[in-house]
Structure 1
């Protein structure tokens, strides 16, 4: 359809090894926008321009604003409480209070008019004063206002909870091409817009509709009490005032968007610098980050000054319309009193009712501005929810069989982009109890094979089967449940060690975790920490050394106890003695499992049952270490160089 704010990336090779392993371990996502030389550096990531472009394209696709607004019906299941009786009851109470408030809007001025007439006739309107007191209390924040505010709380929480959870789940279900190209700070900002959608609903139902109803009711009452001239002036003035306010809002929309962009750029600078703190340290770029943030803050303040100054000027001009309207209406009402067709109490009624009309009307325009702002924020969430994952389950997909004893690649080809193959005609079989090693130069296609096994991408040609089940015919979740992964640069949450390891299997006991750590040769190291398994590992595991991180990742993979284990240079950061201990334990765990290992250090895979030598996406050699050395081909050259 082409309608995507989060655009499909122009793919390159995904099989490149990191240039600076230590740096990328601490900040894998800190890979772009380290320095903004000028405003153009942010243009490629200008989310507001993306919103405009997506909106323009969608308007063209749907045939206009009506079709575009119809897209927002995607939010209805998240804001309409169909099965939540408590929220439905609160919504009903809010509607009842809105109706009662409309009645109070008329009853209070009417009562004051009666009081004024009785005072001018020499009576003491005590009873009417008591009625006025009761109506005023009921109409204020201590009466209907309090009931309405309390009733709104579950309604707003309902929509926020539903939309935030839905947006988060939608983001987590996206494919690797989405997550590898999008700015995490911008995605987080879009997810947070669940509140904006709830604000749109609240503004329309509770803040915008009631004042419009008040104007219609007021015009009807003024027509009956003062004639058509007063009613027409009020109606015309209300329409003109709203038009002027709407126009003024439209005049500041671009400034508001620029302000939003500048604020997000500032947030992104802070987020990336904090997330990439170690990278900043490694290259001693504190001053650069300070300059970058200072520039972003300055641009934010400039945009804010332009927006607020222009808004204040336009608002001052629009507000001149209010006293002119009041003067005209007051003059017409006073003429009726002078002619004897209205009483002084009617003028008091007019004065009081005028306040109950004009202030909600002025407040309405403020709500309209907020509505525009929330609507812009809601657009970003809308575009996010409209973005579909590129890898999804087939309609008839079944779970993977519990016993997987074979993985087969049959003439598999894969390309990240048209005409550029990462893998071509790859065929091999990995059986339970075997270790299959993948070797080759950087960019040969090793990591692509692991990603295809996890179904992060779909193959271009050929087939991948798990015990004769085609990978495209089984559910993605069941595939990933059947695979344990030890990445080259493991990531950890800022949580205790025991929770990071238990992340692989939430039902594991403490003893299960300890056993997995013993197998990964890290239990003794952990026990030397003052807080042992309760030690916090820091953001992305920054408190762990490279070797500790790899061993902890191995422990996590072992705890999962999956039938397929993928190791991506899993022992590159450990010493040879520790590596020997890990290999000894892994050797005892080979039975019944399929091991697929990426290795740059060839000494780690000499005992592999099968070694696959990849070159430029093709399988050029296959065999055991001894067999490949006898051939004196590409593997032998790699072995000689290692």
Structure 2
């Protein structure tokens, strides 16, 4: 099953009814509860169907003894039975819901967790292509759709069909086949009409969903980029674009509402005609004495009792169609396998020294755009290798490949001789610490963001990491200290402060291999020198790959690699590369000239 993107779900796509079978594993966990709930369902329906029979006997007794001697205890007993049957119908229906509640809620929990874990297992490219707002809506609607399918398929469609069969059987035995045929014809016409019209209007429901996703994604994206909007005075532009999305959503919803009105009107017409025909039959037979007044009352009660849930059946079918669409999208997220997976025989990475080796690596994000061309180099255990070059040269791609956000097209990457494609991703990433260029924090306290590097760390370990990252003075200057809320994506902190949090996290993680992806790019020169000292301390005894834009951060590297056009064009120490008077010397001169200016 293909996972559709936010807005590319075809409007005429028919839902996959096999989705319902995919819910069975979530029911199997509570087989006993499901069986008990079904038992309560049957008892409830038997009580419901028996209620008009009690009413018939009450009316017949009173009618036949009109003007004569009436034994009061008999109608009172019948009335009590009538009341108990009505109460029993409601009681067992509520017991059914109470017993089944755990099943539905647990199913929602299981699926939500499974989707959450699956999305975290998806490759980086998947998340770069998705819109978070639309994805969140798909998950929310999908989990609610599962609850709806479980509850209403079992507890509305099944009981309604059971009630129709029971009523038809009683009418056939007590009266004649004419009533049964009239009811069955009405039910068949009603169901066929509901299905056909619902199939027709489903495209409007899908379109409304798609427009809802689109507008929600636009709103979330705009709010996440609040500062960018403000920088360019584009509040009106954002509002205009959002309103256009809302206008599309409004039009789609209007079509949905009008088609719903047509469906409801048609269903009401079918029910009304069926009531007229069946009641006319009953009136004629009551008038000529073929049936009693109690029989007439029972038929009328059955029709009211039958067509109310049948009317709800039309609503439930419509909602089931919509729930199927939502659940299908949710399962569609689970249907695609991650682009980066562990090999079947993958073992945990064993880091003895920490030597990293790129061997004839070729890589392209797209076939028509080659990024890396035959890149080979090694980082000896405990050494630091810096990679420099112009933007687009492929520097950050090296870090993404080492962390296995992507797999190489040709060649291999090894750590202590182990190809990273043959080890588990979990063990690989546990061995690598990353300080990214753009640090994003959770909307939580500063302490929790620091402790995220190792959630089980003690408070003292977190404080020590903050000290080593030169964050302690800054934290003590805050009114709430470590309990300061950092805001959405850490917007309440400066770029340099966020970068120090990222460094503290890595210190706390304490990995044998480090990736510093322009780790000081957000810092001023004074802060940079302080952080470089901390990074030098942290990287000691660790294998480090440093992606650098500022060449001043690479001077102490054991080896500097210069990349251009996806290839390594120079390598050596700082002084050696300056003496070559090549690419590195040109970049060095260029940055110093900008600094002087």
Q: TM-score w.r.t. structure 1 length? A: 0.87
Task: Measure, in 2, the Cα distance between the counterparts of 1:473 and 1:73.
Answer: 35
| 2:594 aligned partner | none
Task: Measure, in 1, the Cα distance between the counterparts of 2:368 and 2:196.
Answer: 51
The yes-or-no answer on 1:95 pairing with 2:38 is: yes
Out of 45, 48, 62, the position equivalent to 1:119 is: 62
Per-residue CA deviation, residues 445-499 of structure 1 (Å, 9 max, x unaligned), is 1011000100111111111111011111100111100011011111100111111
Does 170-179 or 513-522 show the bigger shift? Answer: 513-522
Out of 339, 343, 347, the position equivalent to 1:390 is: 339
Task: Measure, in 2, the Cα distance between the counterparts of 1:251 and 1:416.
Answer: 41
| 1:21 aligned partner | none
Match runs of 1:231-246 below 5 Å: 231-246=180-195
Aligned to 2:519, what secondary structure does the other structure show?
coil
| 2:199 aligned partner | 250
Task: Measure, in 2, the Cα distance between the counterparts of 1:394 and 1:197.
Answer: 32
| 2:101 aligned partner | 153
How far the C-alpha of 1:156 sits from its partner, in A, is 1.7
Measured at CA, do residues 250 and 550 of structure 1 come closer, stay the same or move farther in structure 2, by a change above 3 Å?
Answer: same
| 1:175 aligned partner | 123
Out of 627, 635, 640, the position equivalent to 2:576 is: 627
The yes-or-no answer on 1:443 pairing with 2:386 is: no
| 1:165 aligned partner | 113
How far the C-alpha of 1:144 sits from its partner, in A, is 2.0
Match runs of 1:228-627 below 5 Å: 228-627=177-576
Structure 2 gaps, min length 5:
592-597
Question: After the TM superposition, which segments of 4 or more aligned residues of structure 1 sit over 6 Å from their partners?
Answer: none
Task: Measure, in 2, the Cα distance between the counterparts of 1:539 and 1:550.
Answer: 16
Aligned to 1:613, what secondary structure does the other structure show?
strand
Per-residue CA deviation, residues 578-615 of structure 1 (Å, 9 max, x unaligned), is 22222223323333201110111111111110001111
Task: Measure, in 1, the Cα distance between the counterparts of 2:567 and 2:37.
Answer: 67
Task: Measure, in 2, the Cα distance between the counterparts of 1:555 and 1:530.
Answer: 21
Contact kept, 8 Å, 1:185 with 1:268, in 2: the verdict is yes
How far the C-alpha of 1:153 sits from its partner, in A, is 2.0
Match runs of 1:104-143 below 5 Å: 104-122=47-65, 123=70, 124=72, 125-140=75-90, 143=91
Contact kept, 8 Å, 1:159 with 1:195, in 2: the verdict is no
Task: Measure, in 1, the Cα distance between the counterparts of 2:491 and 2:254.
Answer: 40
| 1:41 aligned partner | none
How far the C-alpha of 1:375 sits from its partner, in A, is 1.0
Measured at CA, do residues 6 and 243 of structure 1 come closer, stay the same or move farther in structure 2, by a change above 3 Å?
Answer: closer
Aligned to 1:589, what secondary structure does the other structure show?
helix
Aligned to 2:223, what secondary structure does the other structure show?
helix
Aligned to 2:357, what secondary structure does the other structure show?
strand
Aligned to 1:80, what secondary structure does the other structure show?
helix
Per-residue CA deviation, residues 86-138 of structure 1 (Å, 9 max, x unaligned), is x4443233212210122112211111111111001113412111111111222
Aligned-residue CA RMSD (Å): 1.8
How far the C-alpha of 1:301 sits from its partner, in A, is 2.6
Does 362-371 or 513-522 show the bigger shift? Answer: 513-522
How far the C-alpha of 1:377 sits from its partner, in A, is 0.8
Aligned to 1:252, what secondary structure does the other structure show?
helix
Contact kept, 8 Å, 1:6 with 1:387, in 2: the verdict is no
Does 316-325 or 543-552 show the bigger shift? Answer: 316-325
Per-residue CA deviation, residues 208-253 of structure 1 (Å, 9 max, x unaligned), is 1111121122222211122112211111111111112222222322
Measured at CA, do residues 117 and 317 of structure 1 come closer, stay the same or move farther in structure 2, by a change above 3 Å?
Answer: same
Does 600-609 or 292-301 show the bigger shift? Answer: 292-301
Task: Measure, in 1, the Cα distance between the counterparts of 2:34 and 2:396.
Answer: 53
Structure 1 gaps, min length 5:
8-44, 57-64
Measured at CA, do residues 586 and 304 of structure 1 come closer, stay the same or move farther in structure 2, by a change above 3 Å?
Answer: closer
